[in-house]
Amino acid sequence: MPTEEKLYSDIPPTKLRNKEEKFKPAKTNRFWLTVASLFFFNMLQNRFYAFRYSGDENYTERDNKYPTILFSPHCNWWDGIVLYNITHRICHKEIRLMVEELNRFPLLRRGGAYSVNKKSAQSAMKALQYSVDLLGDLRNVLCIFPQGIIRPPHFRPFKFQTGLTYIAQNAVKKYGKVNLIPLSIDYCFLRDNRPEVIVDFGRRIELTDKNIDRKDYTKFLEAKLTETCDEQFKKISQGEIDNYKILFKQHLKWYRRIEQRLKRIDLPDVSGV
């Protein structure tokens, strides 16, 4: 009988493997960004019926003279693909995203990924310092999964590592201000036989105080992401999706079109009553 894969672990994969890996920065160019943009968008279109998003004014109305960080939960393999499309097709920026074990997926560097090795605090610090430096290029948006590991969908309570606050605090010291925007990403079935991607941009946080207490501010950011995710859950559970913008929506399959036509047919009353 095959051994079932352990879905979730409290230990990051680089610690589990206990293998030293050199830090690798992002290495993008126009050609590879075009390839990645088409490839990752096509992946979503092949698997999902629609991509809906709301609250993007929290991004578009930011002070764009300062860097921006998007942060969200991490529950499955699709999260990175979704964030790539958010940054490229909604924010119109290049993504910068930490990826553990980047040596297994080296081509992701061409799309904007860079490595983080959590085997030791010293190794992880290289990625954090690099994150602060790349925020100086306003063509980028930094995306972070602050929990540090994959958790189940709708996992509560959120428990962040302090990396996000470290980056934000040092960005303020270096650039004067940073925009932080929580993101809620959900994958659910609505009325189609294929799932949909639902994205909510939470209320923008503008950090200007470089003297924050790191632990207290981490708890504050945990609460803001919880608020964003809870608001999204409430909207989805009440079917309040009419105000969502649509990045893409598929044509109905042939059998769904037949179903829609059948619903419009008034059948004769043959009951004899």
Q: What is the DSSP string of 71-84?
A: E----STTHHHHHH
CATH superfamily name and code, 16-263: Glycerol-3-phosphate (1)-acyltransferase (3.40.1130.10)
CB 166, CB 120: distance < 8 Å: no
- What is the band of 161 on the pLDDT scale with cuts at 50, 70, 90? very high
Please write the tens of the pLDDT for every residue from 131-144: 999 999 999 999 99
Specify the higher pLDDT residue, 260 or 9.
9
Collect all residues with Cβ–Cβ distance below 8 Å to 121 and sequence separation of at least 6.
none
- What is the band of 6 on the pLDDT scale with cuts at 50, 70, 90? confident
Does 13 have pLDDT greater than 90?
no
Percentage, residues of the chain above pLDDT 70: 91
* Residue 241 to residue 144: CA distance in whole angstroms: 26
Strands 140-144 and 245-249: unpaired
Does 84 have pLDDT greater than 90?
yes
Collect all residues with Cβ–Cβ distance below 8 Å to 35 and sequence separation of at least 6.
110
Percentage, residues of the chain above pLDDT 90: 77
pLDDT of residue 252: 65
Q: Which residue has the tokens 């969502």?
A: 244
Please write the tens of the pLDDT for every residue from 104-121: 889 999 999 999 998 888
Does 69 have pLDDT greater than 80?
yes
> Domain residues of the chain, as ranges?
16-263
CB 20, CB 162: distance < 8 Å: no
Q: Which residue has the tokens 């924050």?
A: 212
Collect all residues with Cβ–Cβ distance below 8 Å to 68 and sequence separation of at least 6.
59, 62, 91, 93, 141, 142, 178, 179, 180, 181
Does 273 have pLDDT greater than 50?
no
Does 269 have pLDDT greater than 60?
no
- What is the band of 93 on the pLDDT scale with cuts at 50, 70, 90? very high
List helix spans (H) across 86-213: 121-134, 163-175
Q: Which residue has the tokens 């989805």?
A: 236
Helix (H, G, I), strand (E, B) or coil at 197: strand
* Residue 149 to residue 151: CA distance in whole angstroms: 6
Q: What are phi and psi of 26, to 5 degrees?
A: -65, 150
CB 197, CB 51: distance < 8 Å: yes
Q: Which residue has the tokens 């608001």?
A: 231
pLDDT, mean over the chain: 91
